[in-house]
A and B are shown apart, each in its own frame.
Chain A
Amino acid sequence: MSEKARSAAQASNRAPTVRERSRQWGKIPFAGASTLLTDAPVALAGFVLFYGLVALARYWTAPVNPEAHIDLRPAALPLYAAFSVARIAVAYILSLVFSLSYGYIAARHARAERVMIPILDTLQSIPVLCFLPPVMLSMAALFPKAQFGLEIGSILLIFTGQVWNMAFSVYASFKQIPREMLEAAQLYRLSGWQQFLQLELPYTAISLIWNSMMSVAGGWFALMVCEMFVLGNRDLRLPGLGSYLQTASNAGDTRAIVWGLIAMVSVIVLLDQLIWRPMIAWGEKFKFEQVEAAETPRSPVLDFLRRSKLLSRAGHATFAPLREALTLYFARKELETRPRTEGRDFTEWAWRAAWLVTLAGVLYGAAKMAALLTQVSRDDLREIVWGAGATFLRVELTLVLAALWTIPVGVLVGLNPRLSAIAQPLAQIAASVPAPALFPVVLLLLIRIGGGLGVASIVLLLLGTQWYILFNVIAGASAIPADLKEVCGVFRLPRWERWRTLFLPAIFPFLITGFVTASGGAWNASIIAEYFRFRGQTFSLTGLGAVISRATDAGDFATLLGATIAISTLVVAVNRFLWRRLYRLASTRFTLESA
């Protein structure tokens, strides 16, 4: 048999290739009714999205709204929800672009890495809401004429809340790419673009998706605060779900509160179902595993989109040729370039210049900062110190309270698969509601039954933090191997002994992870929990958060700076000296992996 004939024979009994399949599609010019059924909703969704963008643009360029008027009718809710989602979306896209570039540069340039990663580490531990008062005020001042300024401010804050975590995850996964994969890319001389598209981006995809989910949850937290931001006499509220809930609580309108909460939960559940679940299911493709997993996440929405011929044809017509052309372009450009030997001098020079500029900038900033700090009065300083102590105690108390109920409940749920099947989704929904959205509601309730901001602030901190601990404890408890549980049964260990020898050590690493996240969240929330304007009254407690808000209110930038430095230092110190050590202990002594 000739070579040709053999290959033809082989070709006939194998599965159709991608190309052959696409040829099949080409044969059917008009899709049948079933296609219409799947394609119509997709097309409709496209139009709705476009209309939303137009409406948003019109609103954003409109002149500034001096007194935010919030409409409490339920019919206004969809628009408010759309505003909130749009802010999140814009901030997310910014964060994505930033994290990919930041992570890429830090992972690929050893010299940049040495500076960029410590910066990231520090920025990650500064509570984002520290920036809230100054950012909102400065943006309102910068764009006094248009609504645009406040919007930019809120987007900037959400961005700050999202981006560090994502950048870190991108950096970490870029660093984890197996050496042999990189060597293959180097050996076959992949252009930078092809390497990014076919190796680096896919490799980071899964961790990026999961971290995006977490980051966006953090974004909701910041957004709610932005939307209901009232500082002193200045009403800087933005129309959105947050301001709706706040106005409703202010007015004591229970019906509106309920509608607002329903809208909030539905938006979050919808986002989860329409964006994150499909993303996670799609991300399975990028799992770096050698064997196929038995159980993979599925998403009906993704299946639906995959079935849509309109989308796939649109993809074939636009993305595929574009990607092909770009990749070929970069590949040919790469082939043409001679090895860079003469360019090195220039790069070296550019690096040095960048270094000098950065150094000068940092020195200048530090000098200015020091000058400003000297203006902090002795009284303010005392207030900062006391406030730091009070907030510290408040945060730790919250963690203890959270641990007290989450550990027993979490272990119970984690050990019982049937119970956790029911409890997990409920807890996830409860956890996904951003705590600040509930704050006015909680405050309203507490004022009615006679509690003050002192109790309310703890409740708020709890709402924002307990879930992290709960989920981690559940995960830890469900990861306890069955044979260890059986050993406890065989030796008839009494209940307390079981907790002491198995459950507590086994969940310890998970508990610490939960505590680390929860502690960060609690510090963050403390800034709004200690100083709140409600029904024309200002509620305030002793605490760093209150100092920050009050200083912004009074335009006392020296105190604001001092307090921000204090809170950041405190958070970094607690992380370094407490959590990181416990974390190390957990990962060396209390892991269930037998190394």
Chain B
Amino acid sequence: MNLPKAEELQSIVSHGRWDRAAAVLARLDPAVAADAFLSLPHHEQEVLFHHLPLDFAARLVPACAPYDAFVLLHTLPADRMKALVEKMNPAERVNFIDELPEEVWRQIVTEIYGDDGAAARALETPPAPTVEPIIEARQIEKRFGRAGGGEVQVIAPTSLRIEPGVIVALLGPSGSGKSTLLRMLSGLAQPSAGQVLWHGQPLDGHKPNVAIVFQSFALFPWLTVLDNVEVPLLARGMERAERRRRAVKNLQAVGLAGFEDAYPKELSGGMKQRVGFARALAVEPEILFMDEPFSALDVLTAETLRGELLELWQEKKISTKSIFLVTHNIEEAVLMADRIIVLAANPARIRADFRVSLHTRNRNSTEFLLYVDYIYKLMTRPLLEAEPPAPAEVGRQSGAARIPYRMLPHARPGSIAGLLELLNDRGGKEDLYRIAEELRMDVDDLLPVVEAAALLSFAKSERGDIELTPAGKSFAEADIAARKTLFREEALAHVRLLQQMHSAVLTKSDGAMPLEFFRDILDEHLSNEEVQREIETALDWGRYSGLFTYDSETDRLKRMEVMRMEVMRMEGDV
């Protein structure tokens, strides 16, 4: 603590010379200033804070301990608080927000941005249904039959409404059932239970006027661009002239005039997706569904298309009443949507549903970053609440309630090592979204790696941050052989499947164990693809850390020494 400065400040303040105190502080380094400032009595802090110039206050706040900063901010009127937060250096602002407990942070956001009337628009409160929804899902769920009998719950009972006039984004990690939900809402797939209402009427049998823009474009390569757009119109029995007029109009709207006679394979990815948009818009759908429409495109093209779509929407050049966007790209969701629904996986259910009230859709604005960071926190926050009981739980038949099997995060040891090294270079702690940005990775790809590092207790992940543990640090600094040892120890300590595999090959007299045995065990808990993925991850980790080897020809796990002996024997033969 910088005592002389603190004493000087206290004496100035005790004489009530606030402006002079502010001037003294402003000359100091923010960290020193914060120390001195916080040594003042509480009520004087507040008064002095109000006298500080905005620029300096914006530098001082991040230097204070989070709680103090929060209290200080709280004393300001909303407009000044907003001005101050916006004055902060973006990096510091994000850090500062990170430090705050979530409720506090949300309170600030509400206070800053809820000024034009609404705590009702606070985060995590779905909009009050004031208008008649176009589509309403009531407790829809999806279960798939498993090969070995029984069912897997993919989507837990879920209710949601899509009202006209909004863009809704559905966010969630890959495999969380986003696409399945979209297909049930659009009438392509039937829910296993529950009901989808289209303007209040049951969907089954009714033919909703919707369109989907697909990730893979789903264009017919043997038809020209024009014929592709005409396909749905022809299906509606429209005469040739009218079809052509509509198709040409929509192609012009998406900027493809002049490409009518081209075949899709002659077009770039972005242009193909424009054809996809034109085809979808041609039927004048009430709801335009989009299933990761930009994820097959490169970054720049995707950005352009997003902008153009938003423009069409905002200027009401398209007759679509609502847009439902499925994506795993957080920034895309914040950029486009008026409302974001975040899904949790296994089985899918709504984790958060909130309005996005941005004044500008600018990637560098405070508000934008606030939302992005908030969603990262949501998605990385471990699910503490108990799994909601599924009504048709399979376990009921076998008598006992089953604890859901926790799958290994599907990440390669190489990626885990890479992440730990990067963290170590960054001083051991970093924001997840910044890592994602640096590595040009989607959350989808990054989260499993983070989870794996956390599972092996090489890192801790909290509130959108990731921090290296001592074990993680020694791993990042170790050489290849030492890394394998470290990985082996942690894997044996934390991963039950690897423990089982390891002890199986150790105890068997021939040192070999059919992999089929483990597949059978996993079959009880997981679907076929999940079993395959789980085994793949376990093999990858086990082989990397030298817990066992795997012989693909006989489909057996083997003890390391056994394999080595076999190799030696074979060499002896030759």
Contacts and interface: CB of A to CB of B under 8 A. Distances in A.
Q: Do A and B assemble together?
A: yes
Interface of A: 7, 10-11, 13-19, 178, 180-181, 183-184, 186-191, 194, 198-199, 202, 205, 285-292, 324, 327-328, 331-332, 334-335, 338-339, 341, 588-589
A335 B236 contact: yes
B235 A190 contact: yes
Contacts of B183: 183
18 contacts: A13-B258, A14-B260, A17-B261, A18-B226, A183-B183, A183-B188, A187-B210, A187-B212, A188-B232, A202-B220, A285-B222, A287-B265, A288-B221, A290-B269, A290-B272, A327-B234, A335-B237, A589-B553
B288 to A, nearest CB: 12
B212 A194 contact: no
Interface string B243-263: 010001100100001111101
Interface in B534-556: 552-553
B485 interface: no
Given A190-B231, A331-B234, A14 B221 contact: no
A287 B237 contact: no
B56 interface: no
Given A7-B252, A18-B261, A331 B231 contact: no
Given A188-B235, A341-B205, A181 B265 contact: no
Most buried by B among A16, A183, A341: A183
Contacts of A10: 252, 257-258
B211 A187 contact: yes
A19 B249 CA distance: 15
Contacts of A205: 222
Contact of B237 (A186, A188, A328, A338): A328
Nearest to B214: A180
Contacts of B184: none
Contacts of A183: 183, 188, 212, 214, 218
B257 A11 contact: yes
Nearest to B257: A10
Interface of B: 183, 186-188, 204-205, 207, 210-212, 214-216, 218, 220-224, 226, 231-232, 234-237, 239-240, 244, 248-249, 252, 257-261, 263-266, 269, 272, 283, 552-553
Given A328-B239, A331-B234, 19 more contacts: A10-B257, A17-B248, A17-B261, A18-B226, A178-B216, A183-B188, A184-B218, A188-B211, A188-B231, A190-B231, A194-B231, A285-B263, A290-B269, A292-B265, A292-B266, A327-B234, A335-B237, A339-B204, A589-B553
A180 B215 contact: yes
B234 A328 contact: yes
A194 B227 CA distance: 13
A292 B268 CA distance: 10
Nearest to B260: A17
Contacts of B248: 17
Contacts of B226: 17-18
Contacts of A11: 257
A353 to B, nearest CB: 27
Most buried by B among A10, A180, A186, A286: A180
A194 B234 contact: yes
Contacts of B265: 287, 289-292
Contacts of B186: 187
Nearest to B241: A19
Most buried by A among B212, B221, B222, B244: B222
Nearest to B232: A188
A338 B187 CA distance: 16
The 4 A-B residue pairs whose C-beta atoms are closest, nearest first, are: A14-B258, A188-B232, A339-B205, A180-B218
Given A331-B237, A332-B237, A184 B214 contact: yes
B231 A198 contact: yes
A331 to B, nearest CB: 4
B236 A338 contact: no
Contacts of A17: 226, 248, 260-261
Most buried by A among B186, B212, B218: B218
A15 B226 CA distance: 13
Contacts of B237: 328, 331-332, 335
A123 to B, nearest CB: 28
Nearest to A286: B222
B438 to A, nearest CB: 28
A58 to B, nearest CB: 41
Contacts of A290: 221, 264-265, 269, 272
Nearest to A181: B218
B235 A15 contact: no
Contacts of B249: 7
Contacts of B552: 588
A228 to B, nearest CB: 43
Contact of A194 (B207, B235, B259, B263): B235
B244 A19 contact: yes
Contacts of B231: 188, 190, 194, 198
A6 to B, nearest CB: 8
Contacts of A324: 240
Nearest to B235: A190
B173 to A, nearest CB: 21
B401 to A, nearest CB: 34
Contact of B221 (A289, A328, A589): A289
Contacts of A7: 249, 252, 257
B218 A202 contact: no
Most buried by A among B210, B222, B235, B237: B235
Nearest to A341: B205
Given A194-B234, A291-B265, A331-B237, A184 B223 contact: no
Most buried by A among B231, B237, B252, B553: B237
Given A287-B221, A339-B204, A188 B257 contact: no
A149 to B, nearest CB: 42
A332 B238 CA distance: 9
A337 B492 CA distance: 62
B515 to A, nearest CB: 15
A10 B253 CA distance: 12
Contacts of B215: 180
A205 B183 CA distance: 29
Most buried by B among A184, A290, A328: A184
A181 B220 contact: yes
B220 to A, nearest CB: 6
A181 B220 CA distance: 8
A15 B214 contact: no
A180 B213 CA distance: 10
Contact of B257 (A14, A180, A286, A338): A14
Most buried by A among B204, B223, B260, B269: B260
A338 B220 contact: no
A331 B214 CA distance: 23
A327 B234 CA distance: 8
A335 B222 CA distance: 25
A189 B257 contact: no
Contacts of A189: 207, 232, 235-236
B76 to A, nearest CB: 50
A223 to B, nearest CB: 33
A198 B252 contact: no
B289 to A, nearest CB: 9
A571 B372 CA distance: 64
A188 B283 contact: yes
B258 A338 contact: no
Nearest to B212: A187
Nearest to A182: B218
Contacts of A292: 265-266
A246 B365 CA distance: 88
B260 A198 contact: no
Contacts of A199: 220
B202 to A, nearest CB: 11
Nearest to B215: A180
Contacts of B283: 188
Contacts of A328: 234, 237, 239
Nearest to A6: B252
